[in-house]
C-alpha cells in the first residue's frame, strides 16, 4: 500500500563538462540507467536503505557533520513541510556510484518523486528540478544545474546555466552507439570542480580561452549531431578530451580507457562528468562490441548503450 516508485535518470555529458560551470554550453544525454526510490511510513525517524550499495542507516540530522545526502534531505523535507515525519526510504540504483554518470542528481530526483507520489504533493517537474538543484548545491557548492536537469527531464539536451539559461531539447532520431567504460576509481565531482576553480582564479585568461574553445566544440558537435556526421562529432569529443586533460581533470585510468577505445575503432572518446576518476564515453559506430570487449579484457567494466533516438 502506498508504495510508489520514483525515478531519476542517469546521464552522460557528450561535450562541455566543467566549462558549463562557467556559463558555456554543454550537450548531455540520458542513459538507460536510472535510480528508483520508494517511501514507506514509519513511526519515527528516517531510515535510508540502499541494498546495492550496502547502506542501511538511521539518518542523524543532529550529527556534527552529517554527510551531504543527510543535509540535502533535511533541506528538502523542510521545504516540503515533511520534517518530523517517520519514513523508510528505499533506493534501487542501477547507476553506479561516483562514476561520473550523474548518480547524485538521479538519487535526489528519485527520492523527490517518491516523496511526491507517497505524500501526494503534486510537485511539477520544474519544482522537482529546483529542489534537486538545491541538493546538488549541498553536494558540490557551485553546480551548473546540468545534472539535476538531465536527471529530471531525461532528454537529450543543449544546456547553458545562469542568466542566459538554455534548455534546448535536441532531436536525435538515430540513436548513437556508445560504450561507457568505468575506471573503477570514484570521482569526487566537488574536488575536480574546486581544482578547476583554483586554476581559473590563478590564470583566468588561460582558462577562459579553454572554456571558449570548448563552447565552440559544442557548436560544431551540435551541427554534426544534426547531420549524423559521427566522424566530426567524434573529433570534437577527442579535442574536448585534450582540453579536459589540459585542465588536469583526467587521470591515468581514464587515459588508458580512451586509448583502448580509440585503438579499437571508437571515432571519439573522452571522460564524462567531473573526471578525476569515473567514466569514459566512446562513440563507436560499427565498433561497440569490439571496443567493449577490449575494455573488459583490460580489466575494466564496460557497457554498450544506445544514446538518444525516438
CA dihedral 133, 140, 162, 180 (to 10 degrees): -80
Q: Which part of the chain contacts ligand PMV (CB under 6 A), choosing from 1-9, 72-80, 99-107, 113-121?
A: 99-107
Q: Does residue 193 belong to the site contacting ligand PMV (CB under 6 A)?
A: yes
Shortest Cβ distance from residue 17 to ligand PMV (Å)? 4
Q: Does residue 273 belong to the site contacting ligand PMV (CB under 6 A)?
A: yes
Q: Is 147 a catalytic residue?
A: yes
| Per rule CB under 6 A, count of chain residues that contact ligand PMV | 16
Q: Comparing C-alpha atoms, which of 13, 20, 273, 271 is closest to residue 144?
A: 20
**Coil, helix or strand at residue 43:** coil
Cβ atoms within 10 Å, residue 174: 12
> Which cell is 92 given?
534501487
Shortest Cβ distance from residue 252 to ligand PMV (Å)? 18
- Report the distance separating Cα 308 and Cα 31, nearest Å: 8
Out of 15, 20, 176, 292, the residue judged to bind ligand PMV by CB under 6 A: 20
Shortest Cβ distance from residue 229 to ligand PMV (Å)? 25
Beta-strand ranges (E) seen in the chain are 5-15, 26-41, 46-50, 55-58, 87-93, 157-160, 166-169, 176-182, 268-272, 279-283, 301-307
Q: Which part of the chain contacts ligand PMV (CB under 6 A), choosing from 18-26, 110-118, 228-236, 301-309?
A: 18-26
Out of 70, 148, 152, 189, the residue judged to bind ligand PMV by CB under 6 A: 189
- Report the distance separating Cα 19 and Cα 160, nearest Å: 10
- Report the distance separating Cα 33 and Cα 11, nearest Å: 8
Instruction: State how far the alpha carbon of 16 is from the alpha carbons of 44, 72, 122, 295, in Å.
Output: 44, 26, 34, 24
Q: Does residue 146 belong to the site contacting ligand PMV (CB under 6 A)?
A: yes
CB nearer to ligand PMV: pick between 26 and 117: 26
CB nearer to ligand PMV: pick between 11 and 113: 11
> Which cell is 17 given?
563538462
Where do we find the cell 544545474? 145
Q: Does residue 25 belong to the site contacting ligand PMV (CB under 6 A)?
A: no
Q: Does residue 21 belong to the site contacting ligand PMV (CB under 6 A)?
A: yes
Q: Does residue 17 belong to the site contacting ligand PMV (CB under 6 A)?
A: yes
Shortest Cβ distance from residue 136 to ligand PMV (Å)? 7
**Helix 288-297 crosses helix 252-263 at what angle (to 10 degrees)?**
140
Shortest Cβ distance from residue 169 to ligand PMV (Å)? 18
Q: Does residue 144 belong to the site contacting ligand PMV (CB under 6 A)?
A: yes
Q: Does residue 106 belong to the site contacting ligand PMV (CB under 6 A)?
A: no
> Would you tell me which residues interact with ligand PMV (CB under 6 A)?
17-18, 20-21, 100-102, 143-144, 146-147, 187, 189, 193, 273-274
Q: Give the residue numbers marked as catalytic.
A: 147
Amino acid at each position: 500500500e502506498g508504495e510508489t516508485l520514483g525515478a531519476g535518470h542517469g546521464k552522460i555529458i557528450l561535450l562541455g563538462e566543467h566549462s558549463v560551470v562557467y556559463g558555456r554550453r554543454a550537450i548531455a544525454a540520458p542513459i538507460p540507467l536510472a535510480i528508483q526510490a520508494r517511501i514507506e511510513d514509519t513511526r519515527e525517524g528516517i531510515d535510508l536503505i540502499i541494498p546495492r550499495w550496502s547502506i542501511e542507516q538511521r539518518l542523524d540530522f543532529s550529527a556534527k557533520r552529517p554527510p551531504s545526502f543527510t543535509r540535502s534531505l533535511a533541506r528538502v523535507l523542510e521545504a516540503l513541510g515533511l520534517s518530523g515525519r517517520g519514513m523508510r526510504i528505499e533506493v534501487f540504483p542501477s547507476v553506479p556510484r561516483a562514476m561520473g554518470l550523474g548518480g547524485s542528481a538521479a538519487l535526489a530526483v528519485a527520492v523527490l518523486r517518491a516523496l511526491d507520489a507517497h505524500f501526494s504533493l503534486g510537485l511539477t517537474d520544474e519544482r522537482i528540478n529546483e529542489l534537486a538543484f538545491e541538493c546538488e548545491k549541498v553536494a558540490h557548492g557551485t553546480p551548473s544545474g546540468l545534472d539535476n536537469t538531465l536527471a529530471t527531464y531525461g532528454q537529450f539536451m543543449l544546456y547553458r546555466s545562469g542568466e542566459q539559461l538554455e534548455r534546448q531539447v535536441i532531436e536525435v532520431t538515430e540513436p548513437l552507439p556508445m560504450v561507457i567504460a568505468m575506471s573503477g576509481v570514484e570521482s569526487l565531482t566537488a574536488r575536480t570542480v574546486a581544482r578547476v576553480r583554483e586554476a581559473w582564479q590563478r590564470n583566468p585568461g588561460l582558462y577562459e580561452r579553454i572554456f571558449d574553445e570548448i563552447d565552440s566544440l559544442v557548436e560544431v558537435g551540435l551541427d554534426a549531431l544534426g547531420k549524423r556526421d559521427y566522424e566530426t562529432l567524434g573529433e570534437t569529443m577527442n579535442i574536448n578530451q585534450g582540453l579536459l586533460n589540459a585542465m588536469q581533470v583526467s587521470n591515468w585510468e581514464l587515459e588508458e580507457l580512451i586509448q583502448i577505445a580509440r585503438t579499437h575503432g571508437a571515432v571519439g572518446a573522452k571522460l564524462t562528468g567531473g573526471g578525476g576518476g569515473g567514466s569514459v564515453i566512446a562513440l563507436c559506430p560499427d565498433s561497440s562490441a569490439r571496443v567493449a570487449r577490449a575494455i573488459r579484457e583490460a580489466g575494466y567494466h564496460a557497457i554498450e548503450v544506445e544514446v538518444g533516438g525516438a
